[in-house]
A and B are shown apart, each in its own frame.
Chain A
Amino acid sequence: MFKKLIQKARVKSPWLLHYDCSSCNGCDIEVLACLTPVYDIERFGIINVGNPMHADLLLVTGTVNYRNRKVLLNLHDQMPDPKLVVAIGSCALSGGIFREAYNVIGGVDKVIPVDVYVPGCPAKPEAIIDGVTLGLNVFTRSKEGRKTHAR
């Protein structure tokens, strides 16, 4: 019963951690715009927190490069299970316009497992909210049902 309560709370009020890998800021300010009165992501109980240990959701924008790969892995490891990773924007999906640049590894899924992909350059706030709410279904699924990903 306690487990069920926790699960319900997680779906009703997931806390969000945002990390900018090497995005151009376009997607980042759209993520921030989701928190403001016009889009108001808090109506889903979502709060932006700074501490990965408090977070259920990780929003990643931008491509992974050789410098911030470790930081992203670190943040992902510090988050408690079960966790949800949402990749936002073309860069986070595949490297986008920068995929041929020398310092770029590629999409976020090359480093950590990704649950939801939100396309767009930059992704619109509506799309981000849609992606996050879609991803919340992951918490209701059992652990075995989730996608696994080799690192």
Chain B
Amino acid sequence: MLKTVIPFGPQHPVLPEPLHLKLTVEDEVITEAIPALGFVHRGLEMLANIRDFKQMTQVVERVCGICSMIHAMCYCQGIEAIMGIEVPRRATFLRTIWSELNRMHSHLLWLGLFADSFGFESLFMQLWKIREKVLDLNEATAGNRIIVSVNVIGGVRRDLAPEQISWMLAELAEVEQEINRLGSTLLTDYTVKKRTAGKGVITKDKAFELGLAGPTLRASGVCQDMRMLGYAAFDQLDFEPVVETGGDCYARSKVRFREVLQSIDLIRQALSRIDQSEIRTKVKGRPQGETVCRVEQPRGELFYYIKADGTKNLERLRIRTPTFANIPALLSILPGMWLSDVPVAVLSIDPCISCTER
């Protein structure tokens, strides 16, 4: 059989982002997949030499528009660790709430795109309809739908009013009900299972060996979640990572679906335990020293290395994002798959190319 090379991307309807894969195909089966990256590379880390360390909070938010809040939180936590700033208790709770809202909208977005990848368009529309409610919560509390820009070094920019908290609880109950209604379709429907179950299996050992991160890793049965470190207010909430053992595309969608419900639970806990205090401490001086900061993004472990030399610009900023860790998973599951399953497999790791290439 003649070998054919089929380009997947950089402009492809299933992904809004320019991921480029060169797929070598024999008959209809993929034998090799080579990624070509760099379409979204902007050179964002080098902006640390141009912008000062406070402005960088806004720049790192634009590493990725989907998980922007968590990027900024990680960066602020890093700078706060270097400068020895104590963040007010209320601010840590507010950060937790917004980061979980961010996770919810990211997972709902992914579940929708995943449904679209196997052609279930009405499910895609329904999931995105629920997502709009989460974005409304974001807009009402933080002021913007996606890039919320609430983090500053030393705390947060906005506070929640008591009436907003009761309104949020009511909205969350509605969101939970709607998600549960769609859950039966997403998790038990025959057509969905036919396209996802048993596709792209990664065993537990293999997942550990490849060094995967986030839901992709937890779907293979490895219990690893950076929220267990207890950053922000996660040490004061009851939290148990979501773990599945299937290791296939179906298990990965199940982990993300359960994490949406878990996020609702975490927000409820945070809203009930939040107390009155300042939301921001004044920052004086400039950072000097280096640190490593790790948080859990919707896609997995996010890693920041910050080195500051006492001037207003940082000396070095290094960002390692979860998709970078998950691309090896994609390359290991693609060979042997049918060409028609490629969109499902690509989406199952939840690729975020703008994170990876920065």
Contacts and interface: CB of A to CB of B under 8 A. Distances in A.
B147 A121 contact: yes
Interface string B90-123: 0000000000000000000100000000000000
Interface size class of B (residues with CB under 8 A): 35 or more
A122 B16 contact: no
Nearest to A95: B42
Interface of B: 10-13, 16-18, 38-44, 46-47, 50, 58-59, 62-66, 68, 109, 125-126, 128-129, 131-132, 135, 145-147, 352, 354, 357
B268 to A, nearest CB: 25
Interface string A49-92: 11010000000001101011001000100000000000000000
Contacts of B17: 20, 25, 28
B247 to A, nearest CB: 27
Contact of B16 (A32, A97, A98): A32
A102 interface: yes
B16 A102 contact: no
Nearest to B17: A20
A56 B227 CA distance: 46
Given A25-B17, A37-B126, 8 more contacts: A24-B68, A29-B146, A33-B131, A50-B12, A71-B18, A96-B62, A98-B62, A100-B50
Interface size class of A (residues with CB under 8 A): 35 or more
A17 B147 CA distance: 24
Nearest to B66: A25
User: In this complex, which of A20, A31, A75, A122 has the most chain B Cβ atoms within 10 angstroms of its Cβ?
Assistant: A20
Contacts of B126: 37
A104 B11 CA distance: 19
19 contacts: A22-B40, A24-B63, A24-B354, A25-B16, A25-B66, A28-B17, A28-B65, A29-B16, A30-B145, A33-B132, A38-B128, A67-B38, A67-B41, A68-B40, A71-B18, A97-B58, A97-B62, A122-B145, A124-B145
Contacts of A140: none
A70 to B, nearest CB: 10
A102 B43 contact: yes
Given A23-B354, A29-B109, A103 B128 contact: no
A146 to B, nearest CB: 25
Given A26-B65, A37-B128, A98 B352 contact: no
A22 B132 contact: no
Interface of A: 17-33, 36-38, 48-50, 52, 62-63, 65, 67-68, 71, 75, 96-98, 100-104, 121-122, 124
